[in-house]
Amino acid sequence: MKYRKFAGKEISILGLGAMRLPINGADIDEKEAIRLIRAALDNGVNYIDSAYVYHNQQSESLVGKALADGYRDKTYIATKSPVWMVHTAEDFDRLLDVQLERMQTEHIDFYLLHSLNKGAWEKTLKLDLMGRMEKARQAGKIGHIGFSFHDNCSVLEKIIDDYGKWDFCQLQVNYIDTDGQAGLRGWQYAASRNVPAVIMEPLWGGKLANPPKSVRDIFEEAAPGRSAVEWALDWLWANPAPHNMIALSGMSTVEQVIQNCEYASRAPEEIDQAVIEEAQKAFKEKKLIPCTGCCYCGCAQGVSINSNFDFYNEAHIYERDENARNSYTNMVRFQGPNSQAKNCTSCGACEELCPQHIKISEEMPKVAEFFAAK
């Protein structure tokens, strides 16, 4: 495992995101998830990221259990305050105390305001949540102060400059999604203000782990045997932006943990950018819907938004039309009678919650039309 100086600490260049832990039905598979987290720590990972809402509010408690038996001393933990659940300044303190109890710790090393955008930042200023963050640090409850972000670059710049004392931030960047949200420009801006970045979605919700055949062929020709996952992670680790960053991966199997830790142990300082550019071009020709499967959106009608987009993308990106159609048909059986795209009412409520800012009400009819056709 390689390490870099990050906010004054020696942090592994690979962090573990506790948002896609192994599950058993609707719940976390506790035994397997604990095994996964401990495997990561045993292989050199020393940064674990969770949030109040991950896994239906089960993630923080699971992380707390996994860090028993001496494992807490091996890692830095990060979690996030759900700003949308904070209606008064006192709510901030109450939720933080719940998180400390869940994680079985007296101190959270890296604490973030979760999913900031323009509106959430205005709310943060109105309620003086930065003052609350600073008081929590003075009380020893939290360490480094940061935020995760889902909006455009101009909003990111304002948030960074308005407070001016951020210890770190968390941004979404990968070699395909370089211009979405704050993107690469935002990462560079944060670096210019001495705000190190945790980079989330390095595999774009898993899409870059198993890219289209045209992309796999490009990678195989350039470096036989080197996986698409390693290309994606290496692009971040070797990025010309300052190297004060962590690549945060939501790994869901022990095998993925072992593999990614191996990649992190041999991360390069440079990467063949011409190969990446060729892969970018081939990938973008597929015109996918940029859903990462975070499931923040929800649907009052019962439409399974991420599954509909997954099956649509499967048909178009990976040319598995028949498999995708079978999966779409079986949604009713496994995910409920209203789960298919045709039941979308275009109410738009989900769009307010989507971190990717997808026009779901416009995309869902396309999905319904595609799967209705023979």
Residues annotated as catalytic are: 54
CB 282 within 8 A of CB 214: yes
Single out the residue of 65, 2, 73 nearest to residue 28, CA to CA.
65
Measured CA to CA in angstroms, residue 60 lies from 52, 54, 92, 323 at distances of 7, 8, 17, 35
* Rounded Cα distance, 152 and 159, in Å: 11
Give the three-state DSSP class for 111. Answer: strand
Q: How far apart are CA 101 and CA 231, in angstroms?
A: 39
Q: Which two tokens stand for residue 351?
A: 């769009």
Beta bridge partners of 267: none
CA-CA distance, 99 to 91, in Å (whole number)?
12
Collapse the DSSP code of 88 into the 3-class scheme (helix H, G, I; strand E, B; otherwise coil) and give the result.
coil
The amino acid sitting at 20 is R
Assess contact for 88 and 58: CB atoms under 8 A. Answer: no
Report d(CA 229, CA 139) in Å as an integer. 41
Neighbouring residues of 326: CB distance < 8 A, sequence distance ≥ 6: none
Pairing of strands 47-49, 76-81: parallel
